[in-house]
Structure 1
Amino acid sequence: MVKPFDELPGIHGIVSGYTGGEVQNPSYEQIKTGDTGHRESVQITYDPALFSYQQLLDLYWPQIDPTDDGGQFIDRGSQYRTAIFYHTEEQKELAEKSLKVLEESGRFKDPIVTEILPASEFYEAEERHQDFYKKNPEAYKEERETSGRDTFIGKNWK
């Protein structure tokens, strides 16, 4: 989820991490069990005068399968389920509206299961998980191709 947002005007930073669970300072080893309640996530710092929250939402939806309740593509488990975490009431309203627009679009025959949740404590992932697509470009490219993500996006988000 880092690459689509990275290096856009107004995006100041993207940090990979974990949020939404009960365990304080979880490690990747704990997260990958699916038992912490956390989801793998990214925290995006941006300048709303240059890149709006609505633009974040518009860019987010075409990166995911919003109908998959069991994870995302080859990543299976609750820690990979999609969600939008909001910090303000305005963000919540915009996220809910964007979800409703997607539901009403008829783009997907299955229900949209992406949750809209209040932001909670965010824990930065280990360094090896930061900027993975830059540090490991071949592995990143292969994972996108073999996971089915690119095929899904091409088919459903033209």
Structure 2
Amino acid sequence: MATATLAGGCFWCLIKPFDQWDGVNEIISGYSNGDEPDPTYAQVSTGETGHVEAVQIDFDENTMSYRALLEIFFKTFDPTDIGGQFGDRGPQYMPAIFYHDENQHEIALQVIKELDEAKIFSASINTPVLPYKNFYKAEEEHQDFYKKNTGHYNAFYKGSGRQGFVENVWGEK
């Protein structure tokens, strides 16, 4: 088992894209790399804790590679926008890859380089690759939100601009 910690705006929208793949064992919504111990959603929402909304993915490296996870990840958000994602603005919504070891660090930098060279996005990728510091599980209502609150999730996914961006850049929902 291995762990990946990824941030791409609202954590609600980062569960569903990974939930369908063999080798992905668990996806947890939470808060990563900040200074406040065991933060709440209300605290992180202020943008003052240093935490970003993120997901932590436990995966079987024999079935799903870290590179494959990153390739899925980059199809879920706008990696050129460091100021937040779509309707969610502020440091708590910035995208980031939090690497757990040097191998993850090197793979992340390589994937970013390849995507930039392919000119998929209208600007250069601006998603930081940072050392993993911490991760705190979010409140239960934020876990598997797309399953628990399908209507709200679908409206948010579309209304925030995320769905349109993903469809426009990748041709998929």
Q: Which runs of 5+ in 1 are unaligned?
A: none
The CA deviation at 1:76 is 0.7
Residue 157 (structure 1) aligns with: 170
Residue 36 (structure 1) aligns with: 49
Worse-superposed segment, 69-78 or 106-115: 106-115
Residue 65 (structure 1) aligns with: 78
The CA deviation at 1:111 is 2.5
**CA displacement 1:106-130 (0-9 Å, x = unmatched):** 1223221111111111100000100
Does residue 17 of structure 2 align to residue 4 of structure 1? yes
1:19 paired residue among 15, 32, 52: 32
The CA deviation at 1:8 is 1.6
Aligned length: 158
**CA displacement 1:57-95 (0-9 Å, x = unmatched):** 110001010111210000111000100111111110000
Residue 90 (structure 2) aligns with: 77
The CA deviation at 1:102 is 1.2
Q: Which structure has more RCO (C-alpha within 8 Å, separation ≥ 6)?
A: 2
Does residue 99 of structure 2 align to residue 86 of structure 1? yes
Residue 114 (structure 2) aligns with: 101
The residue type equivalent to 1:86 in the other structure is Y
Distance 1:109 1:149 in 2: 16
Normalised to the residue count of structure 2, the TM-score between the two structures is 0.89
Distance 1:117 1:83 in 2: 7
Alignment of 1:103-142 (within 5 A): 103-142=116-155
RMSD of aligned Cα (Å): 0.8
Q: Which runs of 5+ in 2 are unaligned?
A: 1-13
Normalised to the residue count of structure 1, the TM-score between the two structures is 0.97
Alignment of 1:39-58 (within 5 A): 39-58=52-71
Distance 2:159 2:98 in 1: 28
The CA deviation at 1:13 is 0.2
Distance 1:130 1:116 in 2: 25
Q: Which runs of 4+ in 1 moved over 3 A?
A: none
